[in-house]
Each structure stands twice: as C-alpha cells, then as structure tokens.
Amino acid sequence: MRATVIHAAGDVRLEQVPDPQVVLPTDAVVRVVASCVCGSDLWPYRGANEVTEPRRIGHEFVGVVEETGDDVQLRRGQFVVAPFVWSCGGCAPCRSGVQTSCERGGGWGGPDRDGHLVDGGQGEAVRVPRANGTLVPVDGVDEDVEEGLLKSLLTCSDVMGTGWHAATRAGVQEGETVVVVGDGAVGLCGVLSARMKGAGRIIAMSRHAPRQAVAREFGATDVVEARGDEGVQAVRELTDGRGADRVLECVGTHDAMLQAIRSARPGGTVGYVGVPHGIELPIELMFRRNVNVAGGVAPVRAYGEALRDAVLAGDIEPGKVFDAVMPLDDVAEAYTAMDERAAIKVMLRP
Ligand SMILES: [Zn+2]
Ligand SMILES: [Zn+2]
C-alpha cells in the first residue's frame, strides 16, 4: 500500500510500504476512507521537533474495518473513527476517561509495545491495535458517505474532541463569556464546543478573515484581532473590564498561554489543549488573580460516542474546518498549504 513518510523537516513523501496485517488477536486492519494533516504534524515538518529517522506520520483517520483478530468484536465493513491515540478501554486510566494515558496504548506511526509497527493515519490502511477499545463505530454510514458528513466524522478523530476537551476542562457553563485563543481547527472547534455548552458570549481571537467567518458560523459573537496588551485590553472592554469567565488556549505557545491567562477574569479558568512548546506559567499572576489552568492532551476517545451522535443528528457540522480536500498523492502539497496557512485544514482521500 501507499503511506506517508516524514524524512526530515519539510520533507514528506508518499511511499510504497508493506500492507498492514492482523498481528495480535486484538488488532484490526482499517482501510482509510479519509485522513488529514494536523497542526501538530507541522511541529516536525517545521523542524521544531527533530526527525531523527524516516517515520510514518498521520494520526487522524476514519475508515472501514477490513480484517479483525479473534478478540475483536467489530464486524468487517464497520465504519469507524480512530482517535489520535489507540487505547485498550479497560485499564484504570481508560476507565477514568484519560485514554491518552492508557497503560497498554500508544500513538500512530511507530512500534507498539511488542515492537510491531502501527501504521500512520496518512496512508491507505492502518493496523489498529486494541481495536475494541480504540475505534468508535459509526452505524448507518459506509465508505460512500456524503463528503460533508465524512468531514465532520473525521474531526471526531482529533480537533472536535480536542476543542471539546478545552471547553470541558475550562468548565464552560450556560450563559458565560468565553474567549478562544487560536483560530486553527482546534480553536474553531473550541468555539463550537463553547456554543454547545451554552456560552452566552464567545470571543474568537483571530486575524484571518476566512477563519473569522468559520468562527462566527460556529457561534462566535465577537472577534478580536489584536494580540498582547492590546488583545487583553480588547477582551476587557468586551467584558465590563474584568476578563472572561473561561478561556480556551488552543495553540500551545508561551505567548498564546499568556494571552489566555491574562484574558481570564479573577477566578476564571483557562482550559488548555495546545501541545506546549516553551510555555512558562506566570504563577504569580495566576496566584494574584486566582486564575485556574486545567487541561492537557485531549482524551478524545472519551468523547467519541457523544460527538459522533451530535454529528449524526446534524446538531453540529465541525467538518466546516476543512477548507481543502486533496488526494493522498498530493500529501506534500497538503503540508505546504497548512504550513503557509493557505488552508485551515486539509482532508486527504486515498
Ligand atoms: Zn491531530
Ligand atoms: Zn487502557
């Protein structure tokens, strides 16, 4: 089959690789119907995380179960969403809803705990370990699913679940004011999540017109383009001089985290989900203003069924974050488009 391999910063290639197979009784092989490029794929692509040797990449995909090991209860032909890590569903962290800390789980695109390769998501098929625990089944949908619905289901693999985690850990309540820092796909899904939780006012921080338009469609009532001191000032002016009840930090840089913490009202909470790169928390400022910071890597598996059902019911259309669709052959071009911010998020079709 063909799959994406990252060789070095700026160098991703679609290559011929061995077909995945069921190795362990808990495995399934999923044929990928759609995958995508994630903002976090850009960290190694931009050289922020070193690539020491060529490796598979891609961790967001949906597809159809093609083969199953003896212990797997999913049927062949079942449409499934794969969360961005695989997990057993049975250990203590999994049972407490932190599947990202699964004691038997791991990530896509590297070896599992027995040394068997787990394929990356940006390919034609994937060996899925711990398939019963990992995969979210979607009934009534097959590989010919309409593109809009396909896009929305694909967001349940990462960005919608991650935006939802930010809003959940921030503790967004009905009628509250929420600021969202970050206008990537996760930030936009954070706006949508805040709306689903009944936020009264949602302030999206964004400088890009196409992203502002999606944010407004998802429920943003205000857009703030300014950053730094001016951004904080603009948020205060919209919130009676106090700051927002809840802030979602969906970037992961020091500046974004500082923006988030300074945008919160005294006693407010920041829910953070951006992969941290060089963040130092201003603990004295947090102490003085009683600002809470909660969050971490999103256990999207915990939210899989609820978000799937909201998508299937037509309550939400998070798939609107995909503003480009490309064939898997053009994966290098998809990375370039994401890197240059020419696209919010690119869906790839094998
Ligand atoms: Zn991702
Ligand atoms: Zn587990």
Domain ranges of the chain: 2-158+299-348, 162-295
Query: How far does residue 157's CA lie from ligand 1's centre (Å)?
Result: 8
What ligand has the least distance to the C-alpha of 85? Answer: 1
**What was the pLDDT predicted at 49?**
85
What ligand has the least distance to the C-alpha of 162? Answer: 1
80 by DSSP, 3-state: which?
strand
Burial environment of residue 200 by CB neighbours within 10 A (0 to 12, 13 to 18, 19 or more): middle
Query: How far does residue 100's CA lie from ligand 2's centre (Å)?
Result: 8
The low-confidence residues of the chain, meaning pLDDT below 70, are none
Query: How far does residue 248's CA lie from ligand 1's centre (Å)?
Result: 17
Query: How far does residue 281's CA lie from ligand 2's centre (Å)?
Result: 30
Query: How far does residue 132's CA lie from ligand 2's centre (Å)?
Result: 11
What ligand has the least distance to the C-alpha of 297? Answer: 1
Distance between CA atoms of residues 129 and 131, nearest Å: 5
Whole-structure pTM value: 0.97
Q: Does the fold of domain 162-295 match that of domain 2-158+299-348? A: no
Query: How far does residue 69's CA lie from ligand 2's centre (Å)?
Result: 18
Query: How far does residue 332's CA lie from ligand 1's centre (Å)?
Result: 17
Q: Which tokens is 209 given?
A: 């017109």
Query: How far does residue 232's CA lie from ligand 1's centre (Å)?
Result: 28
Query: How far does residue 96's CA lie from ligand 2's centre (Å)?
Result: 10
**What was the pLDDT predicted at 186?**
98
Query: How far does residue 156's CA lie from ligand 1's centre (Å)?
Result: 10
Residue 230: half-sphere exposure toward Cβ, Cα within 13 Å: 5
Regarding the domain with residue range 162-295, which homologous superfamily does it belong to in the CATH classification? NAD(P)-binding Rossmann-like Domain (3.40.50.720)
Query: How far does residue 104's CA lie from ligand 2's centre (Å)?
Result: 5
How many residues does the structure list for the chain? 350
Q: Which tokens is 57 given?
A: 């990449």
Query: How far does residue 245's CA lie from ligand 1's centre (Å)?
Result: 27
Instruction: For the chain, give percent helix, strand, coil, nearest 5.
Output: 35, 25, 40
Distance between CA atoms of residues 186 and 144, nearest Å: 26
**What was the pLDDT predicted at 346?**
97
Regarding the domain with residue range 2-158+299-348, which homologous superfamily does it belong to in the CATH classification? Medium-chain alcohol dehydrogenases, catalytic domain (3.90.180.10)
Of 200, 190, 199, 191, whose CA–CA distance to 172 is shortest?
Answer: 199
Within the chain, strands assigned E span: 2-8, 11-16, 28-36, 55-56, 61-68, 79-82, 85-86, 106-107, 125-128, 136-138, 177-181, 201-205, 222-224, 244-249, 264-272, 292-295, 324-327, 346-349
Query: How far does residue 320's CA lie from ligand 2's centre (Å)?
Result: 32
CB 103 within 8 A of CB 119: no
**What was the pLDDT predicted at 317?**
98
